[in-house]
């Protein structure tokens, strides 16, 4: 069995699971006048997790640089190392010296904490191994649905034992049989794209797949992201869209040794961009690309519709808004950029008119109920908001002081915290929940924008 090295060295930006300052509540101070600055954001969490999986399945040494900060990435590194990959992390670069150990008779447990994507990807990776692996997590993660992933894995020949009706904990193994031949799978387009991405990434080592998704595909851009990362590691994968559905082909083969650079994260960038939308001014986010495969790049167009100016060059992306130019409500289908629903809702709370968010009924099963919980916390701040089956209507107006509960959701914490720049007395409880994706969120925002 290969040796396991999973060192989160001193000075690394990848925060080990469970760390934090345990501050009861935090707030951004109210801002008078426009902001100007530069905010460095982490690498893309979505790209980081995909690149780490491909690197840990590759047939030679790999390096992945620009990794996302936070618990999700640390959990992924720890999980892959427990599966036998030799991973050494220094700063935001992971060097993967050898792949996971797929043979053997041991039994192991992987704890994904609150990391939904990590838990789903690790379940699929563990399904390549002879030995039994149990994937579990924190209480909130145990409530999230995983059944469709388990079904797809079973159809690929994996032994899957779910202890909680299609949820975690789950135990998986391929047993002693070696997968051969392309599997033909079918699924509805409205299942989580994470399930499909998880199956796509293990497919080269499982004999290949042809997966037919019927109807409109939720978060289809993430399938393109997965394909792009797989291509970078030498996999043969194609995604074809037609009016009747989407077909994904992945050929049998190996991942090759690769040096991979992760883009700056558009989801994290939404918070400094939204700060400028709320109070005016200009901010640069370095190393951000409008040509990125991240679906959230579409948020640039939403900001422009609301009254901001977006400019991109070799240094990164700048967002500005003249304080004398009004911030306007918008009507947006956010099915492809659903992680940014809380960010847009906060902008809508301070915009003129109504902001209608559509196409995101499925985000009720994220880290929190990102419709109901988000609406509840906005109402505490005096915002007029109503919940629809597939989204929210947010009507801009005056704010009031409030203590906000993020419901264990990093995106609720980071977005709702921005309201403190517009009204005294707004604070976020459990502020360390941001460590899931951006542990330095509070200090990076305040120092980069010159507030506090």
Q: What is the DSSP string of 267-312?
A: HHHHHHHHHHHHH-EEEEEET--TT-S-GGGGHHHHHHHHT-EEEE
Could you tell me if residue 172 is inside a domain? yes
Is position 2 within any domain?
Answer: no
Distance CA 217, CA 336 (A): 9
What distance in Å separates the CA atoms of residue 5 and residue 84, rounded to the nearest whole number?
9
**DSSP secondary structure letter of residue 58:** B
Q: Indicate whether 229 and 280 sit together in one domain.
A: no
Nearest Cα residue to 435 out of 33, 109, 115: 115
Contact (CB, 8 A) for 16 and 74: yes
Per-residue pLDDT tens for 266-310? 999 999 999 999 999 999 999 999 999 999 999 999 999 999 999
Task: In whole angstroms, give the CA distance from residue 415 to residue 345.
Answer: 9
Burial class (CB in 10 A: 0-12, 13-18, 19+), 10: exposed
- pLDDT tens by residue, 81-105: 999 999 999 999 999 999 999 999 9
Tell me: the pLDDT tens digits for 217-255?
Answer: 888 999 999 999 999 999 999 999 988 889 999 999 999
Residue 5 has what pLDDT? 39
Which pLDDT belongs to residue 259?
98
Query: Does a structural domain hold residue 236?
Result: yes
Question: Looking at the structure, do residues 332 and 196 belong to the same domain, yes or no?
Answer: no
Q: 320 has which bridge partners?
A: 282, 309
Residues 415, 310, single domain; the answer is: yes
What is the pLDDT, as a whole number, of residue 22? 64
Do 55 and 149 fall within a single domain?
A: yes
SS3 content of the chain, % helix, strand, coil (to 5): 35, 25, 40
CB 414 within 8 A of CB 24: no
**In this structure, are residues 84 and 101 in contact, taking their beta carbons and an 8 Å threshold?**
yes
pLDDT (tens digit per residue) in 389-448? 899 999 999 999 999 999 989 999 999 999 999 999 999 999 999 998 899 999 999 999
Specify if 355 maps to a domain.
yes
Please determine, for residue 452, whether its predicted confidence score (pLDDT) is greater than 80.
no
For residues 176 and 281, state if they share a domain: no
Cβ within 8 Å of residue 135, ≥6 positions away: 109, 110, 112, 119, 122, 123, 126, 168, 169, 170, 171, 172
- Does 4 reside within a domain? no
The verdict on residue 335 lying in a domain is yes
DSSP-assigned states of every residue in 331-343: EEE-GGGGGGHHH
Q: Select from 93, 9, 31, 33 the least CA-distant residue to 324.
A: 33
Final residue of a domain: which of 256, 278, 302? 256
Residue 160 φ then ψ, to 5°: -125, 125
Q: Is the pLDDT of residue 2 over 60?
A: no
Q: Do residues 171 and 292 both lie within one domain?
A: no
pLDDT of residue 6: 42
Phi and psi at 150, nearest 5°, equal: -60, -40
Q: How far apart are CA 26 and CA 341, in angstroms?
A: 22
For 21-146, where are the alpha helices, taking DSSP H only? 45-56, 71-82, 116-126, 139-142
Indicate the Cα dihedral angle 162, 163, 169, 175, nearest 10°: -40
Whether 115 is in a domain gets the answer yes
Assess if residue 165 is contained within a domain.
yes
Judge contact between 194 and 220, C-beta under 8 A.
no
Handedness of CA 135, 137, 143, 145 (dihedral sign): negative
pLDDT average, residue stretch 59-70:
95
Two tokens at 318?
Answer: 């700048």
End residue of a domain, out of 199, 232, 256: 256
Q: Are residues 206 and 321 in the same domain?
A: no
pLDDT score of 179 more than 70: no
Domain boundary among 232, 256, 280: 256
Question: Which CATH number characterizes residue 159's domain?
Answer: 3.65.10.10
**Model confidence at 21: pLDDT above 50:** yes
Q: Alpha helices of 350-384 — where are they, by DSSP H?
A: 372-380
CA distance 181 to 369: 40
Q: For position 1, what pLDDT does the model report?
A: 31
Do 77 and 30 fall into the same domain?
no
Spatial CA neighbour of 203 closest among 154, 246, 236 = 236
Please check whether residues 176 and 277 belong to one and the same domain.
no
Please report the pLDDT score of residue 12 as a whole number.
Answer: 52
- Active-site position among 71, 72, 265, 339: 339
Chain length of the chain? 452
Containing domain of residue 70, as a range? 45-256
d(CA 114, CA 75): 9
Catalytic annotation on 265?
Answer: no
pTM score, whole prediction = 0.87
Q: For 113-167, what is each residue's pLDDT tens digit?
A: 989 999 999 999 999 999 999 999 999 899 888 999 999 999 999 999 997 889 9
Same domain assignment for residues 177 and 99: yes
Give 332-387 pLDDT, tens digit per residue: 999 999 999 999 999 999 999 999 999 998 878 677 788 899 999 999 999 999 99
Q: Write the pLDDT tens digit of every residue in 29-42.
A: 999 889 999 999 99
Number of domains in the chain: 2
The pLDDT mean for the chain works out to: 92
Residues 238, 384 within the same domain:
no
pLDDT at residue 218, as a whole number: 82
Same domain, 101 and 212: yes
Residue 17 vs residue 59, higher pLDDT? 59
């Amino acid at each position: 069995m290969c040796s396991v090295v999973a060192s989160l060295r001193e000075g690394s930006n990848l925060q080990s699971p469970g760390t934090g300052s345990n501050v009861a509540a935090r707030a951004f101070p109210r801002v008078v006048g426009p902001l100007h600055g530069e905010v460095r954001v982490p690498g893309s969490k979505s790209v980081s997790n995909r690149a780490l999986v491909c690197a840990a399945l590759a047939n030679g040494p790999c390096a992945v640089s620009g990794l996302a900060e936070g618990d999700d990435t640390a959990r992924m590194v720890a999980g892959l190392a427990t599966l036998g990959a030799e991973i050494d992390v220094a700063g935001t670069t992971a060097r993967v010296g050898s792949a996971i150990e797929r043979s053997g008779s041991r039994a192991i447990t992987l704890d994904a904490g609150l990391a939904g994507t990590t838990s789903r990807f690790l379940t699929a990776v563990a399904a390549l191994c002879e030995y039994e692996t149990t994937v579990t997590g924190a209480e909130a993660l145990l409530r999230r649905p995983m059944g469709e992933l388990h079904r797809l894995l079973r159809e690929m020949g994996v032994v899957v034992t779910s202890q909680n009706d299609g949820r975690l904990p789950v135990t998986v193994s391929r047993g002693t049989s070696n997968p051969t031949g392309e599997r033909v799978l079918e699924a509805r387009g409205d299942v989580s794209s994470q399930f499909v991405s998880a199956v796509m990434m293990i497919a080269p080592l499982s004999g290949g797949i042809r997966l037919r998704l019927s109807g409109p595909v939720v978060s289809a851009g993430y399938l393109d992201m997965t394909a792009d990362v797989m291509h970078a590691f030498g996999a043969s994968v194609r995604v074809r869209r037609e009016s009747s559905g989407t077909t994904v082909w992945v050929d049998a083969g190996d991942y090759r040794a690769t040096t991979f650079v992760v883009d700056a994260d558009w989801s994290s960038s939404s918070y400094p961009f939204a700060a400028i939308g709320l109070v005016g001014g200009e901010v640069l986010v370095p190393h951000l690309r409008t040509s990125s495969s991240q679906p959230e790049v579409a948020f640039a167009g939403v900001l422009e519709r609301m009254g901001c100016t977006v400019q991109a060059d070799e240094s990164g992306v700048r967002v500005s808004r003249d304080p004398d130019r009004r911030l306007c409500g918008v009507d947006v289908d956010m099915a492809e950029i659903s992680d940014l629903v809380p960010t847009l809702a906060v902008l809508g709370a301070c915009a003129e008119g109504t902001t209608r968010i559509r196409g995101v009924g499925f985000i009720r099963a994220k880290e929190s109920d990102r419709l109901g919980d988000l609406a509840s916390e906005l109402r505490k701040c005096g915002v007029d908001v109503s919940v629809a089956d597939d989204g929210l209507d947010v009507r801009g107006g005056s704010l009031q002081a409030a203590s906000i509960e993020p419901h264990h959701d990093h995106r609720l914490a980071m977005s709702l915290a921005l309201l403190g720049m517009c009204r005294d007395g707004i604070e976020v409880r459990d502020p360390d929940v941001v460590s899931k994706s951006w542990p330095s969120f509070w200090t990076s925002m305040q120092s980069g924008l010159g507030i506090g």
